Structure 1
Amino acid sequence: MRHLARLIYIVVTVLRYGLDEVALSGFRQRWVRVMVSVVTFGRRLDAPPGQRLREALERLGPIFVKFGQVLSTRRDLLPDDVADELARLQDDVPPFPAAVARALVEKAFKRPIEAIFATFEAEPVASASIAQVHFATLKDGREVAVKVLRPGMLAIIDDDLSLLRTLARWIDRWSVDGKRLKPREVVAEFDNYLHDELDLVREAANGAQLRRNMEGLDLLMVPEMVWDLCTQSVIVMERMKGVPISQRQRLRDAGVDIKKLARDGVTIFFTQVFRDGFFHADMHPGNIQVSIAPATFGRYVALDFGIVGTLTEVDKEYLAQNFIAFFRRDYKRVAELHLESGWVPAGTRVDELEGAIRAVCEPHFDRPLKDISLGQVLLRLFQTSRRFNVEIQPQLVLLQKTLLNVEGLGRQLDPELDLWSTAKPFLERWMDAQVGVRGLFERMKKEAPHYAQLLPELPRLLHQALHRPHREESPALLALLAEQRRTNRLLTAVLLTAGGFAAGAAVMAWLQPWMG
Structure 2
Amino acid sequence: MADAEKYQLTFTGKRRRIAEIFRLARKYEIWKDLTPVRLRCLLEELGPMFVKMGQILANRSEILPQRFCDELAHLRTEVEPVPFAVVRDCLEFEYRRPLREVFASIEEQPLGSASLAQVHRARLTSGEDVAVKVQRPGAQQVMAQDIDIMRSLARRISRFVKTEQFIDLRDVVEELWDSFREETNFLAEARNLDEFYALHEDVPDVSCPRSHLSYCTEHIVVMDYIDGISIADPAAIARTGARLSDIGDAIVEDYAKQVLDDGFFHADPHAGNIIYKDGVIFFIDLGMVGRMSFHDRTAVRDICAAVGRSDVPALKDAFMRIAVARGDTAQIDHAAFLADLDCIVQDFGSMELKNLDIGRFLGSLINLARRYDVELPSVMTLYARGMVTLEGLLSEYMPEVNMIKIISEHIMREQAGFAGIEHAADDLFDAIGRALTGHLQSAEYTGLAARMLTRGQLRINTRLMGSEEVFRRLGGIIDRLSMSIVIAGLFIGSSVVYYAKIEPVIFGIPVIGFLGYASALLLALRLGREIWRNSHGRGR
TM-score of the pair, normalised by structure 2: 0.70
Give the aligned partner of residue 26 of structure 1: none
- Is the Cα–Cα contact under 8 Å of residues 274 and 430 in structure 1 kept in the other structure? no
Which among 350, 375, 379 is matched to residue 391 of structure 1?
375
What is the SS of the residue equivalent to 1:240? coil
Structure 1 position 335 matched with structure 2 position 334? no
**Residue identity matched to 1:142:** E
What is the SS of the residue equivalent to 2:100? helix
Structure 1 position 373 matched with structure 2 position 384? no
What is the SS of the residue equivalent to 1:309? strand
Aligned counterparts, 1:114-129, within 5 A: 114-129=100-115
Give the aligned partner of residue 419 of structure 1: 403
Shift of 1:148: 0.9
Give the aligned partner of residue 107 of structure 1: 93
**Residue identity matched to 1:327:** G
Aligned counterparts, 1:25-424, within 5 A: 49-75=35-61, 78-178=64-164, 181-291=167-277, 293=278, 297=279, 299-340=280-321, 343=324, 345-365=329-349, 371-424=355-408
- Is the Cα–Cα contact under 8 Å of residues 369 and 415 in structure 1 kept in the other structure? no
CA 1:219–1:74: 2 relative to 1, 3 Å:
farther
Per-residue CA distance 1:205-254 (angstroms, 9 max, x = gap): 11111110111122322112122311222221110011110111222222
Shift of 1:141: 3.1
Which among 20, 23, 31 is matched to residue 31 of structure 2?
20
What is the SS of the residue equivalent to 2:221? strand
**Residue identity matched to 1:16:** K
CA 1:434–1:56: 2 relative to 1, 3 Å:
farther
**Residue identity matched to 1:321:** D
**Residue identity matched to 1:407:** E
Which among 6, 9, 14 is matched to residue 20 of structure 2?
9
CA 1:167–1:349: 2 relative to 1, 3 Å:
same
**Residue identity matched to 2:298:** E
CA 1:187–1:383: 2 relative to 1, 3 Å:
closer
Give the aligned partner of residue 35 of structure 1: none
**Residue identity matched to 1:221:** S
- Is the Cα–Cα contact under 8 Å of residues 180 and 389 in structure 1 kept in the other structure? no
Separation in structure 1 between the aligned mates of residue 337 and residue 298 of structure 2, nearest angstrom: 21
- Is the Cα–Cα contact under 8 Å of residues 148 and 233 in structure 1 kept in the other structure? yes
Shift of 1:309: 1.0
Separation in structure 2 between the aligned mates of residue 368 and residue 444 of structure 1, nearest angstrom: 33
- Is the Cα–Cα contact under 8 Å of residues 339 and 346 in structure 1 kept in the other structure? no
Farther-moved stretch of structure 1 (410-419 vs 239-248): 410-419
Shift of 1:156: 0.8
**Residue identity matched to 1:242:** G
Separation in structure 1 between the aligned mates of residue 42 and residue 98 of structure 2, nearest angstrom: 37
Larger relative contact order (CA 8 Å, sep ≥ 6): 1
Give the aligned partner of residue 435 of structure 2: none
What is the SS of the residue equivalent to 2:212? strand
Per-residue CA distance 1:408-428 (angstroms, 9 max, x = gap): 112123323332221112123
Shift of 1:398: 1.5
What is the SS of the residue equivalent to 2:375? coil
| Percent sequence identity over aligned pairs | 29
Separation in structure 2 between the aligned mates of residue 407 and residue 271 of structure 1, nearest angstrom: 16
CA 1:176–1:373: 2 relative to 1, 3 Å:
farther
- Is the Cα–Cα contact under 8 Å of residues 104 and 124 in structure 2 kept in the other structure? yes
Shift of 1:67: 1.0
Shift of 1:367: 5.2
CA 1:383–1:224: 2 relative to 1, 3 Å:
closer
Separation in structure 2 between the aligned mates of residue 332 and residue 440 of structure 1, nearest angstrom: 20
Farther-moved stretch of structure 1 (249-258 vs 266-275): 249-258
Structure 1: give runs of 5+ residues left out of the alignment: 23-44, 446-478, 481-516
- Is the Cα–Cα contact under 8 Å of residues 196 and 306 in structure 1 kept in the other structure? yes
What is the SS of the residue equivalent to 1:346? helix
Larger Rg: 2
Structure 2: give runs of 5+ residues left out of the alignment: 1-10, 430-449, 452-540
Separation in structure 1 between the aligned mates of residue 408 and residue 269 of structure 2, nearest angstrom: 21
**Residue identity matched to 1:13:** L
Shift of 1:271: 0.9
Separation in structure 1 between the aligned mates of residue 65 and residue 387 of structure 2, nearest angstrom: 21
- Is the Cα–Cα contact under 8 Å of residues 226 and 238 in structure 1 kept in the other structure? yes
